[in-house]
Amino acid sequence: MRALAVVVLLVGSAVVAQAGLAGTWTLDPAGRGGRGNFAGYATATRMVITESATEVTIQTNTGTENQPVTATYKLDGSENPVPGPLGWDTRASAARQDGRLVVTIKRSIDGPDGKLHFEIRDAYTVAGDVLTLERSQGSRTQKMVYKRTS
């Protein structure tokens, strides 16, 4: 009976962690780490996240002239095209790891000496009404903190 209770508790916790990303998130200016543009991404001041059991969609205000940009990440680990700079091949894969959403973005472009490749890793963690986005490229990491507004 005790083992069953532990399994129910663990499954219930996983559902809560998965549902925690959905909502509208606004950058907390006090929690902004690093510069505004990191790893080729402007820092979003607002994110709207929706999720299902198979995918997460994140809309940000990082497009040209603050137009919304929307990326949908499949949670099966497959690599799929996502929005990126003009002329770049931008793809991403995503998975849930240890209660976080981890997105790996790969960008490539033809350079004068062959293809140039970049890999960016975003890890989204929610604790109550706070979302922390940890963005890494190589040995560099930036953390941004967002507050849930709805």
pLDDT in tens, 8-36: 333 333 333 344 899 999 999 886 665 56
What residue ranges in 19-139 does DSSP mark as E strands?
23-32, 37-38, 41-42, 46-51, 55-60, 69-74, 80-81, 89-97, 100-111, 114-127, 130-137
pLDDT at 132 over 60: yes
pLDDT on residue 33: 62
pLDDT on residue 139: 92
pLDDT on residue 36: 63
Average per-residue pLDDT in the chain?
A: 83
What pTM does this model have? 0.81
Calculate mean pLDDT across residues 116-133: 95
Calculate mean pLDDT across residues 105-126: 94
- Burial label for 67, CB within 10 Å (0-12, 13-18, 19+), is exposed
pLDDT on residue 41: 74
Over the stretch 54-101, which tens digit does the pLDDT of each residue have?
999 999 988 667 688 999 999 999 999 999 888 899 999 999 999 999
Q: Is the CB of residue 82 less than 8 Å from the CB of residue 92?
A: yes
For residue 91, the enclosing domain spans 2-148
pLDDT on residue 10: 35
Rg, Å, the chain Cα set: 17
Calculate mean pLDDT across residues 105-134: 94
Phi first, then psi: give them for residue 12, nearest 5 degrees: -60, -40
CATH number of residue 69's parent domain = 2.40.128.20
Domains of the chain: total: 1
